[in-house]
């Protein structure tokens, strides 16, 4: 059963994931991060999408999404059946979860600012690109795994599709 994620608006995100407490430099305090974020070991090896020689061993995300996200990543490994096949699908190309930032071209905070969004294989699933079957983009099985957990897929965004992106919102 999908999780009861918040609506995708600033007030709902802050109410569900926690209002950010900011330092003078405009970034979240260590206290906010400690209270709201956690990390888990990914069920399969990932690499930074922009620096593939750098291995990602831990995924840092919001505590409220950790179990769900880890389960989806395990589901990806289970679906493909081997790390080699996960790599062939590009699902080991990690482009981040927690990153306190605004949505590109917007004044609103990204779900990444709460650790409730993840980007995978950005080179094949670029921001603004419409998803096309059979073009080596986000695999339909991966989309289905995230959506079964109630995550919203950025490839369905109307104004500006973002097929690399999944977020724990309605």
Contacts of 82 (CB under 8 A, 6+ apart): none
pLDDT at residue 105 in the model: 80
pLDDT in tens, the chain (170 residues): 568 899 999 999 999 999 999 999 999 999 999 999 999 999 999 999 999 999 998 999 999 999 999 999 999 999 999 999 999 999 999 999 999 999 888 889 999 999 999 999 999 999 999 999 999 999 999 999 999 999 999 999 999 999 999 999 99
Which pLDDT belongs to residue 106? 83
Task: Write out the CATH class of domain 36-102+113-167.
Answer: alpha beta
> Rg of the chain over CA atoms, in angstroms?
15
pTM: 0.96
What was the pLDDT predicted at 1?
Answer: 57
| Contacts of 136 by beta carbon, 8 Å cutoff, 6+ apart | 90, 124
The per-residue pLDDT for 3 is 81
Give the 3-state secondary structure of residue 43. strand
- The full set of domain ranges for the chain reads 36-102+113-167
According to DSSP, the β-strands at 37-48 and 51-62 are antiparallel
| Beta strands 165-167; 117-119: pairing state | antiparallel
Token reading at 13: 């995100």
Instruction: Provide the pLDDT for residue 24.
Output: 96
């Amino acid at each position: 059963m999908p999780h009861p994620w918040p609506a995708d608006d600033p007030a709902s995100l802050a109410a569900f994931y926690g209002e950010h407490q900011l330092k003078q430099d405009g970034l979240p305090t260590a206290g906010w991060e400690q209270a709201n974020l956690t990390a888990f070991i990914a069920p399969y090896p990932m690499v930074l999408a922009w620096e593939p020689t750098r291995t990602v061993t831990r995924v840092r995300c919001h505590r409220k999404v950790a179990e769900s996200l880890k389960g989806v990543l395990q589901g990806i490994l289970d679906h493909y059946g081997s790390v080699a096949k996960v790599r062939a699908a590009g699902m080991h190309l990690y482009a981040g979860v927690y990153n306190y930032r605004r949505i590109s071209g917007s004044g609103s905070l990204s779900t990444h600012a709460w650790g409730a969004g993840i980007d995978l294989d950005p080179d094949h699933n670029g921001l603004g690109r419409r998803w096309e079957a059979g073009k080596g983009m986000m695999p339909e099985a991966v989309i289905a795994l995230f959506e079964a957990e109630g995550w919203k897929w950025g490839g369905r965004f109307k104004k500006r599709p973002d097929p690399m992106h999944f977020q724990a919102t309605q």
